[in-house]
Amino acid sequence: MNPLSKRLTAAASLAKAINKHFALFKENFTGSPRFPLLCIGNPSAVDMNPLHLSVSLQRLLLSASTFLKAFWQNWWKSIPRSKAPILAQAGITASGFTRPSYANGKGDPDGVGGPHKPVLWALSISTIAWPIVGERVMGGDPESLQDFCVADKQGQVSVNGFSCKDPKMVSAEDFFFRGLRRGDTSNAVGSNVTAANVNQIPGLNTLGISLVRIDYAVDGINPPHTHPRASEILVLLKGELLVGFIDTTNKFHSKVLKKGDVFVFPKGLLHFQQNVGQRNAVAIAGLSSQNPGVQVTANSLFAANPPMPNGVLTKAFRSDQTVVDSIQDKFM
């Protein structure tokens, strides 16, 4: 058996031991994974560059490595001293794994490197030891560690969203919005969307929710659009709406809603609503982001700034330049 195979065999044995003894330590590890996976590599080789790993993954690797240290110390104490020389031959010591030295002094013959300081092999969510450990692994963003993170719109720190306002400066006004009133539908599409997201309610920051009120004139539409960062659930309060979305196979899913009906638009899919009743309609929609974003398809294509190249539009719509110019003129 070559040295690399020996180390893999040793890793398999260790993983089985971890599985066997895990009940003794589960009170020390309360994360979502019951036990993450054993990685074939060492902590110094793990790429912790924040550009390459998410914060959640970095935290998982660090906390898992700490857990393994505690486990290793207890596991090693349970090993009969007579077995120590055998383990040492496989590169396993009280401190962790080590690449063994060889008589020729030239390092590992399998080419993975020479002798080095004993190190614990890191825990990772990407490993070949998954079938050995046999534990189901789940991952996700960590729960909030504070009551709220009210958006500091004047903050100088650039993050994915708004930074947090000093809690001492937070008031009830940060969680309040009085503007969800009837909107003006006297426009080209006959509808009005009134948003209540983090831009209107700073207290929504990091909470992952928001809502909108949509008013529709007779025959008015909320034109085809997408929300790149949120799914949407719409409830009709008044009137009658034709609603629908198109999935990535180009299948069209549609329903006519009556008062009290609910419809869901999955995240990122093109969707619309149209008033098909005889009177004005009103709907409220909840979205799964404090800042869902919206991209109206027609506006994006024909009112982009700077404009999209005409050659792209004529080919995409299989039409001539006259047709494209005619449509663009309506958005100027």
Please, which pLDDT band fits residue 159 given cuts at 50, 70 and 90? confident
Give me the CATH code for the 174-293 domain, please: 2.60.120.10
Tell me whether the omega of the peptide bond preceding residue 167 falls within 30 degrees of 0, making it cis: no
| Rounded distance between C-alpha atoms, residue 35 and residue 27, angstroms | 12
pTM above 0.85, yes or no: no
Which tops the pLDDT comparison, 102 or 308? Answer: 308
Please, which pLDDT band fits residue 78 given cuts at 50, 70 and 90? low
For the chain, domain boundaries: 3-133, 174-293, 297-332
Residue 17 pLDDT > 70: no
| Rounded distance between C-alpha atoms, residue 268 and residue 254, angstroms | 16
210-216/191-196 β-pairing: antiparallel
pLDDT by residue (tens digit) across 110-149?
A: 444 433 333 344 443 334 344 433 444 444 455 677 899 9
pLDDT by residue (tens digit) across 171-229?
A: 999 999 999 999 999 999 999 999 999 999 999 999 999 999 999 999 999 999 999 99
Please, which pLDDT band fits residue 44 given cuts at 50, 70 and 90? very low
pLDDT of residue 6: 61
Residue 296 pLDDT > 90: yes
Percentage of the chain surpassing pLDDT 90? Answer: 52
Measured at the CA of 241, the angle between CA 238 and CA 247, to 5 degrees, comes to 135
The total number of residues written for the chain in this structure: 332
Reference 23, options 71, 63, 61; nearest CA is: 71
Span 302-321, mean pLDDT?
Answer: 92
pLDDT by residue (tens digit) across 244-282?
A: 999 999 999 999 999 999 999 999 999 999 999 999 999
pLDDT of residue 154: 87
